[in-house]
Each structure stands twice: as structure tokens, then as C-alpha cells.
């Protein structure tokens, strides 16, 4: 009888141990799976919107990629939210504005800045483009327009978890000029696991303009007296000939040359609306190379 009792006890102990082991194995967190090549390609392609917003911000405002600078931080976010924020499931969209709760704005910021820690203080200088409502903990952005240009990403490689792509801002006009090019590095979005259905699996770590190699003399634009290189801003006096489309303005330079200049910035568009055909105008533009489109960055 003692032997039978002992055997039963041993069996119960063994069953209990097996059950505990099974429960322990079930409760272990699932292991993070690496992305397949197809998933990575899609994740990189999904970064087109944040990269497009960054390069437009840098090009049109003469800024460098500097996430610690509140002006750049919020100007970039204004471009991103204003042009693409309507795609977020929490967005409230009107004809001229997009409102996002702060947690959605944080999600956008994480995609733009790999070293993101928290939203920076909103500068007063951006009050015309971004407003914050403390009662709803939400930000409202003016809606933007990407115009007749788009950003294309070309995968260049990956090393130690850092993905490198080339970003080309390309005109959608018939000539399809490259307005500007940048080298962009991205790292895994470290916050993605904490976001329900994350839109972006990468975060931008750096954006560096690709310098042109033209000689100084070759980079001058016909009709100007500037000796600046093509990648610098050039200010000229001209006669305004009007708009040939929603994002192209024609100007007559002092030597009689008629040039077409592109613009994508909403502030530039508003300024141009103040001019009549035949008015004298002073404006600043950039040109990445002698064959690239001339892009107006400021109208005085």
C-alpha cells in the first residue's frame, strides 16, 4: 500500500512539474521577427512621405537637418502633417486644415527624427502654420500641396541596421528635371512595437544634400550677373509674366531672357498672387545643377 501511495505521489509531482513547464513556456514573449526582403522594400517605400517632407522643408527654407532646432523640428512637421497627415486614422480634415491629437503628431515626429525623445516647444514664428489646443491636446496644421513634383527613393544599401537611400525630388513637368538630391539614412523605428498598426517602421537619422560638381562658371544661369554656384541661393530682379500653371511662374530678366521658375512653397504661392503681369519683382531661387529646375524659395 505504501508503495502504491508513493507511486501516486511521484506521478502527481511529475505531472505538476510538466504543467508548470508548459505554462512557463507559453508565457514567454514572442521573439521579434526580422523583416523579409519584400517587407523591407515596402517599409522603405512607406518612408517616401516623411522623406519628401524633410527635403522640401530643407530646400525651400534653406535649412539643414537638425532635429534639435525647434524651428526645423516644427517646420518639418508642418510640411509632413500638412501634406500627408490626412492619411492618419485619427486626423480631422477640413478644406484648409488638418487636426491631429498629440500622440499622432508624436508618431509623425518619430518617423522624421530617429533620435526623437519628445515634442519640442512650438516656436511663436510657426503660429501661422501650427496651433495647439490644450483643452483637446491636439495640433492643427495648415494643409499643404505637394505641387508638380514628387520624391523618389532609391535603395542604396544596409549596414549594421542602417538603411541608406537616395532621395530625388523630381519635377512632374514634361522635362522631369531633378530639382534636388539627398542621401538619407534610416534606422528601425524603436517606438513601432508600442504603436498599434504603425505607419512607419523606420525613422530618418540623417539627410545630406548631394553636392553638384559643376564648375562655378558653368553653373551660372543665363540672364543673371551672379557668380554663385548652382547649389546656392540666387536673388534676381525681373518682370513678372504671370503663372503658366499652379506651380510655375515666368519671369523676364534684365537682359530680356524669359525663364520659367517652379515653386512648391505655399508662402511663395501667396506672395506671387499679389503681383500683376508686368510688375517688377525681386525673388530668390535655387538650382541644384545647370540642367535642374530653378525653384523659387522667397519673394520679396
pLDDT tens string 45-100: 999 999 999 999 999 889 999 999 999 999 999 999 999 999 999 999 998 999 99
Could you give phi then psi for residue 120, rounded to 5 degrees? -75, 165
pTM value is: 0.63
Q: Which of 209, 242, 276 is the last residue before a domain boundary?
A: 209
Average pLDDT of the chain?
81
Q: For 131-145, how does the pLDDT look when each residue is reduced to its tens digit (9 = 90+)?
A: 999 999 999 999 987
Q: Are residues 205 and 56 in the same domain?
A: yes
In a domain, 289, yes or no: yes
Residue 258 pLDDT > 50? yes
- Burial bucket for residue 273 (CB in 10 Å: 0-12, 13-18, 19+): exposed
> How many independent structural domains does the chain possess?
2
Q: How many Cβ atoms from other residues are within 10 Å of residue 89's Cβ?
A: 8
In a domain, 218, yes or no: no
In a domain, 266, yes or no: yes
Q: Are residues 100 and 141 in the same domain?
A: yes
Give the model's pLDDT for residue 251: 92
Average pLDDT over residues 236-260: 85
Q: Are residues 192 and 240 in the same domain?
A: no
Contacts of 59 by beta carbon, 8 Å cutoff, 6+ apart? 169, 179, 180, 286, 295, 297
Residue 212: pLDDT band (50, 70, 90) is low
C-alpha cell at 54: 524633410
Amino acid at each position: 500500500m505504501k508503495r502504491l501511495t508513493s507511486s501516486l505521489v511521484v506521478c502527481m509531482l511529475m505531472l505538476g512539474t510538466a504543467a508548470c513547464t508548459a505554462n512557463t513556456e507559453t508565457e514567454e514573449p514572442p521573439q521579434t521577427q526580422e523583416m523579409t526582403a519584400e517587407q523591407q522594400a515596402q517599409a522603405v517605400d512607406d518612408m517616401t512621405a516623411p522623406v519628401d517632407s524633410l527635403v522640401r522643408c530643407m530646400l525651400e527654407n534653406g535649412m539643414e537637418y537638425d532635429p534639435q532646432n525647434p524651428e526645423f523640428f516644427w517646420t518639418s512637421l508642418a510640411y509632413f502633417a500638412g501634406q500627408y497627415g490626412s492619411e492618419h486614422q485619427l486626423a480631422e480634415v477640413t478644406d484648409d486644415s488638418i487636426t491631429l491629437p498629440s500622440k499622432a503628431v508624436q508618431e509623425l515626429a518619430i518617423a522624421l527624427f530617429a533620435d526623437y525623445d519628445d515634442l519640442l516647444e512650438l516656436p511663436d514664428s510657426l503660429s501661422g502654420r501650427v496651433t495647439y489646443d490644450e483643452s483637446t491636446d491636439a495640433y492643427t496644421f495648415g494643409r499643404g500641396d505637394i505641387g508638380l513634383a514628387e520624391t523618389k527613393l532609391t535603395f542604396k544599401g544596409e549596414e549594421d541596421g542602417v538603411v541608406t537611400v537616395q532621395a530625388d525630388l523630381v519635377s512632374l513637368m514634361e522635362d522631369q528635371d531633378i530639382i534636388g538630391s539627398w542621401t538619407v539614412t534610416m534606422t528601425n523605428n524603436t517606438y513601432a512595437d508600442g504603436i498599434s498598426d504603425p505607419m512607419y517602421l523606420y525613422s530618418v537619422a540623417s539627410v545630406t544634400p548631394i553636392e553638384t560638381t559643376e564648375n562655378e562658371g558653368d553653373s551660372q544661369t543665363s540672364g543673371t550677373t551672379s557668380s554663385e554656384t548652382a547649389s546656392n541661393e540666387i536673388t534676381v530682379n525681373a518682370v513678372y509674366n504671370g503663372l503658366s500653371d499652379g506651380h510655375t511662374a515666368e519671369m523676364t530678366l534684365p537682359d530680356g531672357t524669359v525663364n520659367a521658375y517652379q515653386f512648391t512653397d505655399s508662402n511663395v504661392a501667396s506672395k506671387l498672387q499679389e503681383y500683376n503681369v508686368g510688375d517688377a519683382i525681386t525673388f530668390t531661387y535655387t538650382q541644384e545643377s545647370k540642367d535642374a529646375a530653378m525653384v523659387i524659395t522667397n519673394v520679396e
